[in-house]
Amino acid sequence: MVNPVIETLIGLVFVYLLFSMVCSTIQEFIAALFSLRAKMLREGLANILCGDKNLVEEIYAHPLVKGLSRRTWWDRLLRREAKPSYISAEVFAKAFVAAAGVDPDEPAKVPKAASNQEPLAPNTRQLLETLARYSPGDINTLRQSVEGWYNDAMDRVSGWYKRQVQVIILIIAVVVSVSSNADTFMLSSAFWHDPTLRAAAVTAANDWVKNHAQQQPVQDRGDKLAELYPSKTEPGAAAVPVREETLKQAGDNLVNTLGQVQAQLGTINVPLGWFCTPCEGGTDKGAEASAPTHDMPSGNSNEHVSEKAKKPTPSGRSTKCVRGQMPADGSAWLIKIFGLSITALAISQGAPFWFDLLQKLVNVRLAGDAPDEKKKTK
């Protein structure tokens, strides 16, 4: 027996999943384009070095660190210096003790000045004294202490980066929701009142879960990359790609994801957008307003589409608004804004969350299907 409540939820969650993929891939492209990880790494180093700008500059000028990055075409266009988005603990420890002017033969002796002859900041001297206290006379032990301290600090920096990413994704989610008119209340009503739309969404969701069950959701990359940049990597982890490769990969992922999402939404024929023919009188009335009236793909029913809706309007709009798509008064606009806000908050949760929920809903629906219906879904 078909359960319209479960099917409506499946349709809504599937739309959330698709838009979450778009938001995350856009964020990844922005992060690669504007070197957000490199900026966060530099801020993190300045923070753990207690604002000692001279020492930070010395570390970045060290050949071991400077050789980790090179200027891309985007850097040259913006006339900025290239900074690494990842510095391993081993490299940092070597650059740190060299930039701080530590004598390899007497590591426990805290230098009075750094290699650039600028005096060390008081907090930096205290930091070196603390680290040197646990490595008397052994430069390798001192470096290991620096590595442990750096890894702990970078774990926190990685957390800062994740929070920054979440804010950016939320902003992108607001823009995507508003620009596409993805109102949760409108979408719920459309799925609930139109069995054809509901069935198309369920079929597409079933296929998506079946094809992606053994794969990591695309947006799971965000969390993994946040662990790689700028935090530490575990021994044997894959090498961090150069910035040109990261930017190209982010661009390819964005193009591929937009193509997939557009294809899925087009197959389902989800009522989205602001360009449609309002119902008579500017309000949603009767059964005509309760069912989506987009031009259906071949094989779907067009019984609900009026002749007026099929013909293009002077403005080029060829579809009729569904219930709640175009607000008619102030109260309707308030509902619209609330529905868009819910969508933005929902899709900012990330694709892995909605993919897991979609899997559970699909399994619940299949568990409730009649025997003959289960055969059709296989």
Q: Is residue 197 scored above 50 in pLDDT?
A: yes
Q: Whole-angstrom Cα distance, residue 348 to residue 30?
A: 16
Question: How many Å separate Cα 280 from the centre of its chain?
Answer: 40
Q: Is residue 318 scored above 90 in pLDDT?
A: no
> Given this model, what pLDDT does residue 110 score?
61
Domain boundaries, the chain: 6-256
Q: Could you tell me if 329 and 199 are in contact, meaning their C-beta atoms sit under 8 angstroms apart?
A: no
Position with higher pLDDT, 51 vs 262: 262
Q: What's the average model confidence in pLDDT over 329-338?
A: 92
Q: Is residue 32 scored above 60 in pLDDT?
A: yes
Collapsed DSSP state (helix, strand, coil) of residue 368: coil
Mean pLDDT rounded to a whole number for the chain? 76
Residue 113 backbone phi and psi in degrees, to 5: -145, 150
Q: What angle separates helix 195-212 from helix 351-367, to the nearest 10 degrees?
A: 110
Q: What's the average model confidence in pLDDT over 250-266?
A: 90
pLDDT (tens digit per residue) in 111-129: 554 444 466 677 777 777 7
